[in-house]
Each structure stands twice: as C-alpha cells, then as structure tokens.
Chains A and B, each alone.
Chain A
Amino acid sequence: MTGWLGPEEWAAVALSLRVAFWATLVSLPLGLWVAMLLARGRFRGREALNVVVHLPLVLPPVVVGYLLLETFSPAAPVGRALASIGVEVAFRWTGAALAAAVMGFPLMVRAIRLAIEAVDPRLEQAAATLGASRVRVFVTITLPLALPGVLAGAVLCFAKAMGEFGATITFVSNIPGETRTLPSAIYAFLQQPGGEGAALRLVVVSVAVAALALVASEALARAMTRRVGS
C-alpha cells in the first residue's frame, strides 16, 4: 500500500485512522452515558443537554473549530490548565482527535439513544426484581440488547471522524505529519499544481474506508440481531 501511496499521502491516511480511532474510543463511554441519560433519564435540563449534544451537527464546522480554539488554546484557562498537566491539544494530532470526537459525538449519541429506547424497559424491571443493581442491569441487559445500535453509533462516529475537515483545520490547522488528516491532505493537494493524482488516490482511500465501515457495521448488526434472536 505504501508503494501505491506516496509517503505524504500515507502519513495522512495513517494519521486520519489514528485520529478517528481515538476519537471514537474515547467518546464511546461518554456517548453511552449521555445516550442513557437522554433515553431513560428523568431530570431537569434533559432538553438542554439534548440541544448541546446535537449542536455540532447543525453548527457550521468552522464555528465549532473556532469555539474549540477559544477554549483549548494555551492562552485560554482550560488550555492552560490542560497544558499544566502536560496535555496539549492545540495544533497537535490530539486536537484533531478532539475536534473529530466533538463532531462525531451527536451521530454516535443519536444511534445509541435510539437503540436504548428500543430496549423494553420491562426487561430491565424484571432484572431488577431478580436482584440486579442498576449497573448490572445496564451491563447485562440494556447494553447487550442495544449493541447493534451502539456499534452503528461507533461506526458513524468513526466515519465522521475520518472525514472531519472544517472544525479540524480551524482548530489545529493543517500541519503535515501532525494535523494533516485525510481531508486536509486532499484539500492541500488540490491547492498544489500537479497534486491531482495524490488527491485522487486519497479520495479512493476515503471512499474505500467509508464503504468498508458501512459494510462492517451492517454485518455486525445482522450478526447481533441473530444472536439476540426473538
């Protein structure tokens, strides 16, 4: 594959895979928790939480990038606090992962929430009467039954993270080897004279990764549904 892709192109693909992987992995526990809150929680501010979670879906990505920059730049309080414990995100690949996670989060939460809402709460009640604590009910009943939706949510988040451009380039710029993800690289190659070939190869990779992710998630969901049976 490295023979077919130039080193610069390969670096962009590898970086995007890494960014998308970490963005998905780190958001998953939070996504599960927020989806559970939205699906089953009865508390004040549920609607507000719903709006905040979904904002990145409808805001211009540049705005999200700008807000991230304002929050996490070393000059801002949050950025300073993070820097003091050795975590730096501005203009780093970790920042690209953060931007990708924020943009992919609503898609993930949406899918997981729908899956959790589809789990019959009467089964959860039955588990509770058998002595299962809330945590055990979630781990042994809710989560397994919602698993196809959870996987779908993770795949959607991963795909979104692979393709995130606006918020990433605004927040962490387009530094080769550090923050030049696949879409940023395609954009950069298109700006260079004679870069069309590289851009085209990356476009092919993008399409392939996206298609593969979709096929994999469908297959997983089918396998899960079979396993759950009914």
Chain B
Amino acid sequence: MSLEVAIRHRLGGMELVADFSASAGVTALFGHSGAGKTTVVGAVAGLVRPDAGRIVLDGEVLFDAEAGTDLPVHRRRFGYVFQDARLFPHMTVRRNLLYGAGGDAGLGRVCDLLGIGGLLSRRPGTLSGGEQARVAIGRALLSQPRMLLMDEPFASLDQARKEEILPYLERLRDEAGIPILYVSHAVEEVARLADTLVVLDSGRVVRAGPAAALFADPGLAPALGPRAAGAVIPGRVEAQHEDGLTEVAVSGGRLLLPRIDAGAGAALRIRIAAQDVMLSLSRPERVSALNILPATIAELHPGQGPGVMVQCRCGEDLILARITRRSAEGLALAPGQSCYAVIKSVAVARGDVGQAQIVPPGRV
C-alpha cells in the first residue's frame, strides 16, 4: 500500500506545495492551523481539486492535472473521518454504519473494536460527541476503504473525550491493518499514533520520515514549536506500584510514571516533552524527581532565543531536553559527554502515553 501525493494548490494568499508519500501504518500530517493540512486530505479524497500535480494510490492514478484525470469522490474508496462527525441525522446509528458497506458482515467486529454495539438503534442527535466520533470512524471503516483519512477527528472534543477514543484508534492501527492518513495539530495525538510523520508548515512539507526519528531530531523543534518538541520512546509495563505509580522499562533504564491502565508486559510509547527534561552532570541526590537516567549527549542544537535543544542517548533511544543556553554554557555541555537526564514523573501526562503493539520504527 502506498499513496503518493505531489500537488500544488493556490490557497488564499498561500501556495500549497505538498509532496510526500504514505504507506502502511499511521502517517500523520502534522502542522499548525492554516498550514494546509485539510486541503491536502481533501485533495486526496477528491473533495478539493488541486491546481496541479498527481495523486497515485498503489499505481492507480486518482488525480493528474496534466492528463486531466480526476476520479470522482465516490470511486476513490477512501474512508474519510471528518472533523465534525457528519453522521446522517435521519438514520439510526446502524444505518449510518452500513451506509457505505456492502453488507452487515463486518458490523459486529467494528462495533466491538469501537465499543459502539449498544448504540445501534439510536439516532445521531442523541449521542455524545465521543460516541459520534466513534460511529463516524466505524462508518468509514465499514465502507471497506483502501485507506482511512482522518482529519482532526478530535477537534471538537474535550480532553476527556479524546482520552476515551485514542485507545480505540490505537487498536484500530494495530488490529485493523488499514493504513491511516491522520491530520492533526495536537502533538500528543500524533506522538501516540504516528509511525510516519509529515510536517507541514505554511503550505510546505518541511520534514517527512519515521515518527520516532523525527521527534528525536532537535533540528525539527522550530517547526514543531518548542513546547511541542519531545522524543517518543518505546517502553514496557513492568509493575504497578501501590502508591499509584507504574514502573516502565525503557532501553535506558526504568521510569516511574503516573498510573497507566495496562497489564504487566504491555507495550507503550511514551512521549517525553523536551521542556520536562533536566540535565545534570552528576547523579542528583536528595531530589524529588523519581526518574534519573544515565545518558550521553549526542547533539546540541541552539535555537533562536534563550533555549538550546539537547539530544541525548539513553540506552538505545534518543530523548530531547530543552534547556537554556546559559545552562548549556555553564555546564560546558558537549557531544559525547556523559550526563543524567532527570524527568519528573508527573510531567508525563496520561495523554503522553499510548499503547502500542508495534514498537515505533526508526530507532536511530
């Protein structure tokens, strides 16, 4: 499965130039609002007609401006999950789910996957926002799409509803085996879901590649925004402690994190925000932070302003620390130097930890 997109489109005063490919797993199209993400997905689905370029799915040309090819929306067979669920108000949930399906063969499986079996006879108007979003995902899935397009499916949901649905998306990614093009401006969502990352900024693709590698790249921080920068590392639940902490094994040691509802052995991906990592040259003692991992500095990346992004190797994984330039100079940090990465347990929020059957690719 591979989707190749190479399009140009005039968008207000902005020239959108999108050139990337997406294959198996979750490809996240990440960027700030107004970066042109929705237009790109609209073009892939056939809802937007680009000014120029080509869109090819598995060798089938969906759109080619020069050749005049423009396959109509209903023949492209993408499952599109919109920002607003767009359920049909005059149909029951069941009829909504089956609208694009050939029959009701897959209904039970999709209902189980998304936890919507109890809603089948309800009308969309009586569902909560989270339920609507899940039904919309199920409806797209049941249309037997070649690929799922998800355009900020959580945009209109609050944090609690998001937390309610993200695990279903993780299951979808790991169990349904259907490639997903996922649009978002929320870094936690992308960090939890994406295998491949395409970063869009002001209508241009600034970076594209394996998500874990890009998140650990200090040079990408400006495009992500300093607060959004942070590495994503794989881990495994080791034990649940009685004081509400979960012990997680990572390649560089052990982390104690706020309670994660998963059994021992469960695979996780953990986002550690760069701004939540402190560096110390000696092992800090009598300090409240619970997580102290030995690390080696790999790269320092000064940005504009007072900050420096430091990439450290922790075991097999790379993490990022955002510290001030004054600290970096004061400690005379340099590549190759040994240090300790200090991470407060509570800094890793519940939303930063995702369940994963597949270990994120692209360990550098």
Contacts and interface: CB of A to CB of B under 8 A. Distances in A.
Interface of A: 122-123, 125-134, 137, 140-141, 144-145, 227-230
B54 to A, nearest CB: 20
Contact of B77 (A127, A131, A145): A131
B86 interface: yes
8 contacts: A128-B47, A129-B45, A129-B79, A131-B143, A132-B99, A227-B90, A229-B126, A230-B125
Contacts of A141: 88
A131 B74 contact: yes
Given A125-B47, A126-B82, A130-B140, A145 B89 contact: yes
Interface string B38-79: 000000010100000000000000000000000011111111
Contacts of B76: 129
Interface residues of B, number: 26
Given A130-B143, A140-B99, A144-B90, 16 more contacts: A122-B82, A123-B86, A123-B88, A126-B86, A127-B99, A128-B72, A129-B47, A129-B100, A131-B100, A132-B74, A132-B99, A141-B88, A228-B89, A228-B90, A229-B126, A230-B89
Contact of A229 (B82, B89, B100, B139): B89
B299 interface: no
A125 B32 CA distance: 25
Given A122-B82, A122-B84, A229-B125, A130 B90 contact: no
A137 B99 CA distance: 11
B189 to A, nearest CB: 22
Contacts of B89: 123, 145, 228-230
Given A122-B84, A229-B123, A229-B125, A129 B90 contact: no
A134 B75 CA distance: 11
B139 A130 contact: yes
Contacts of B90: 144-145, 227-229
A76 B84 CA distance: 57
Contacts of B45: 129
Contacts of B143: 129-131
A140 B47 CA distance: 19
A126 B80 CA distance: 7
Contacts of B77: 131
B29 to A, nearest CB: 17
A122 B86 contact: yes
Contacts of A134: 74
- Identify which of B73, B89, B125 gathers the most chain A CB atoms within 10 Å of its CB: B73
- Identify which of A123, A129, A134, A144 gathers the most chain B CB atoms within 10 Å of its CB: A129
B38 to A, nearest CB: 12
Contacts of A137: 74
A59 to B, nearest CB: 38
Nearest to A125: B47
A228 B126 CA distance: 12
The 3 closest A-B pairs by CB, nearest first: A130-B100, A129-B80, A126-B86
B257 to A, nearest CB: 39
A128 B48 CA distance: 13
B106 to A, nearest CB: 14
Contacts of B100: 129-132
Nearest to B76: A129
Contacts of A132: 74, 99-100
A141 B88 CA distance: 7
Interface in B115-174: 123-126, 139-140, 143
B269 to A, nearest CB: 30
Given A132-B99, A229-B125, A127 B88 contact: yes
